[in-house]
């Protein structure tokens, strides 16, 4: 009877795993066709260029081992346990918890390790140029480093799975980070005298995990929330390339921006439009991301006036052009139909909010220029930005009338 239950659970896990892969492949194919690959290539080339330049100017006294260990620890500690459970399982599979531990959850931990191992390889590739500054690298040493880090990763997966029964995700991550950092520093610096600290830490975590496992029940709610959060992050990224139904219906209150809403309480249409913008994840996130990208590029890339004008004009135009779609979609929703104002007034409200957001973006760009601009007259930069913003606002405002 028990063997039959285990077999059925394995079938259920395989079915859910295949569904998970199918959904991910479906969205990834659209994301790649939508420009994700090109964006990643541009980001990769830019990152490599500045990374190499930073390494060339690295002083001999730079704490290479500490930074390498710190980065590796971040990758190893980012363990997200994926068990492929659903809300209904808390009712129908609860009596089978012992059988789930033997097969279903075990497969989930193995999958989590494989996925985390792929992330670890990316981290190793990133830090190898930095690691090679003070160490001679050979194929054997790299393989031994990966094997050692993989063992630590396996321990982290095991510990994280049990610790979530009692502790929050952040506390669990913090413990895993400390555990990973000790071993990463040992492997990177070859300081074997610290090995006793790592072994004591691992033994302590093992004993503590065993105690928690024996005295607490399986935390269905914690893993369901963690899984839901991971799905939301993936869907939010995919939603930038195609419409994702699972993501579009989600809103976030963002109570810390209530003071901003209060400033527009006298204009009903503008008030509800701003509230929709703040609480709708896709439009608010789009504006935030484009603004941050612009600030980073302006602050750290050496752009002359011409390239600055073209870049800022492009960012401003893309921001306004994308937000128009969201705002017109918002005013076409049922709540806006009950506002006793004409369609032309609603369109003007869209123009007002669009102009306000673009000028806010302009202010962020100007501040970054004044703080980080070098060897160029800041007034020339601000004039270039203002011209670009003015042209963009005029163009977009004409579209909304």
pLDDT tens readout for residues 196-223 = 999 999 999 999 999 999 898 889 999 9
Nearest-angstrom CA–CA distance, 36 and 30: 9
3-class SS string, the chain: CHHHHHHHHHHHHHHHHHHHHHHHHHHHHHHHHCCHHHHHHHHHHHHHHHHHHHHHCCCCCCCHHHHHHHHHHHHHHCCCCCCCCCCCHHHHCHHHHHHHHHHHHHHHHHHHHHHHHHHHHHHHHHHHHHHCCCCCCCHHHHHHHHHHHHHHHHHHHHHHHHHCCCCCHHHHHHHHHHHHHHHHHHHHHCCHHHHHHHHHHHHHHHHHHHHHHHHCCCCHHHHHHHHHHHHHHHHHHHCCCCCCHHHHCCECCCHHHHHHHHCCCCCHHHHHHHHHHHHEHHHHHHHHHHHHHHHHHHHHCCCCHHHHHHHHHHHHHHHHHHHHHHHHHHHCCHHHHCCCCCHHHHHHHHHHHHHHHHHHHHHHHHHHHHHHCCCCCHHHHHHHHHHHHHHHHHHHHHHHC
pLDDT in tens, 236-279: 777 766 666 655 555 565 665 656 666 665 666 677 777 777 76
Answer whether residue 397 shows pLDDT above 60. no
Residue 97 has pLDDT above 90, yes or no: no
What global pTM score does this model have?
A: 0.70
Taking residues 271-291, what's their average pLDDT?
Answer: 74
> What residues form DSSP beta bridges with 280?
251
pLDDT band at 49; cut points 50, 70, 90: confident
Q: 22-26, 245-249, 341-345: which range is least confident on average?
A: 245-249
Average pLDDT over the chain, rounded to whole? 80
Tell which wins on pLDDT, 82 or 238: 82
């Amino acid at each position: 009877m028990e063997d039959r239950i285990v077999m059925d659970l394995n079938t259920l896990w395989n079915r859910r795993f295949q569904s998970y892969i199918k959904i991910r492949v479906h969205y990834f194919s659209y994301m790649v066709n939508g420009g994700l690959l090109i964006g990643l290539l541009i980001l990769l080339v830019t990152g490599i260029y500045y990374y190499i330049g930073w390494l060339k100017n690295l002083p001999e006294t730079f704490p290479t081992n500490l930074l390498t260990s710190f980065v590796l620890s971040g990758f190893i500690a980012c363990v997200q346990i994926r068990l492929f459970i659903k809300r209904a399982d808390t009712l129908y599979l609860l009596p089978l918890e012992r059988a789930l531990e033997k097969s279903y959850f075990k497969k989930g931990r193995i999958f989590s390790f494989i996925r985390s191992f792929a992330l670890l390889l990316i981290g190793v590739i990133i830090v190898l140029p930095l690691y090679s500054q003070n160490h001679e690298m050979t194929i054997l040493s790299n393989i031994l480093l990966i094997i050692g880090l993989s063992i630590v990763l396996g321990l982290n997966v095991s510990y994280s799975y049990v610790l979530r029964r009692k502790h929050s995700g952040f506390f669990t991550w913090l413990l895993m980070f400390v555990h990973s950092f000790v071993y990463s520093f040992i492997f990177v610096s070859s300081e074997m005298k610290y090995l006793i600290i790592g072994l004591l830490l691992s033994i302590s975590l093992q004993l503590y995990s065993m105690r928690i496992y024996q005295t607490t029940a399986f935390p269905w709610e914690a893993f369901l929330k963690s899984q839901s959060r991971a799905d939301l992050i993936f869907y939010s990224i995919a939603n930038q390339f195609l419409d994702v139904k699972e993501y579009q219906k989600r809103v976030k209150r963002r109570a810390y921006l209530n003071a901003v809403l209060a400033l527009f309480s006298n204009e009903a249409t503008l008030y509800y439009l701003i509230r929709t913008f703040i609480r709708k994840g896709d439009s608010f996130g789009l504006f935030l991301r484009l603004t941050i990208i612009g600030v980073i590029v302006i602050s750290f890339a050496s752009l002359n006036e011409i390239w600055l004008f073209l870049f800022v004009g492009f960012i401003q135009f893309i921001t306004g052009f994308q937000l128009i779609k969201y705002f017109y979609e918002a005013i076409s929703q049922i709540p806006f139909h009950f506002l006793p104002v004409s369609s032309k007034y609603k369109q003007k409200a869209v123009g007002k909010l669009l102009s306000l957001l673009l000028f806010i973006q302009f202010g962020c760009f100007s501040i970054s220029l004044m703080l980080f601009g070098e060897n160029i007259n800041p007034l020339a930069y601000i004039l270039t930005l203002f011209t670009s913003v003015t042209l963009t606002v005029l163009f977009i405002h004409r579209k909304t009338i």
